[in-house]
Amino acid sequence: MKVAKLLKLVIFTLYWYSATASGHGGGLDGSGGHNNRKTGEYHCHREPCLSTHQQVQSATKEAGVIGRSYSRLYDRDDWGSWIDEDGDCQDTRAEILIRDSQTKVSFDGCRVVSGLWNLPYSGGSKTSASEIDIDHIIPLKWAHGHGADKWSAAKKRTFANDPDNLLATSSSANRSKGAKGPDQWMPVMNKCSYAQRWQGLIEKYELVATTSEIAALEEACQ
């Protein structure tokens, strides 16, 4: 489903549920649902309510905002690409590779090609830059679902290129982590320092974490 159609579906169904849920008691309404008299929650019992409810759940899952209010859909393009902030021909990726390498790096033009990177998540090391990913400690998609969907394009670009939120790590570890929060993924090594960086970034950017995510960050340093 295209993003525009998905967004229309979410808006329409959210409006539909609000309208239907507000005007009924215990009996089924014309759509096949009703309000629970004790809890006030709206429930589906027959069509077309059941199908519509499934569509809402599917759209919410695709939007990546399960358990949160309906926010604008995540689009990686909104966050921009690596920038060359100081104009020295080395973009953010190159700057992090230089910062995190244990030896002097070598270049092919402006591109870093080799160095020595200790892998903070899994242990071991790499010498080829092609085997290194630059991890967003707080993933962009996670940030989007925890308050950043309301940010300006400039703030999103700043966050995506913030050295405090970037770490050179193995491609495999970065891809295993994906957009998972701290309650779904923790590194094998250096859990406490990883959690501390998460906590610092949450405070710095005033993001909102869930109870389970906060508990996972606290547990990492116990």
Q: What is the pLDDT of residues 59-103, one digit of tens each?
A: 445 444 444 443 568 999 999 999 999 999 999 999 999 999 999
Percent of the chain with pLDDT over 90: 67
Whose structure tokens read 């610092």? 200
For residue 118, the cross-strand partners are 125
Q: Regarding beta strands 33-35 and 42-44, do their DSSP bridges make them parallel or antiparallel, or are they unpaired?
A: antiparallel
Average pLDDT over residues 91-119: 98
Average pLDDT over residues 38-44: 60
d(CA 64, CA 58): 10
d(CA 98, CA 163): 12
Burial zone of 203 (CB within 10 Å; 0-12 exposed, 13-18 middle, 19+ buried): exposed
In 68-210, alpha helices (H): 92-100, 140-144, 153-160, 171-177, 191-205
The domain limits of the chain are 3-63, 78-219
Q: What is the pLDDT of residue 29?
A: 73
Q: What are phi and psi of 217, to 5 degrees?
A: -65, -40
Report residue 40 as tokens. Answer: 């006030």
**Is pTM, for the whole model, over 0.75?**
no
* Better pLDDT: 215 or 61: 215
Percent of the chain with pLDDT over 70: 72
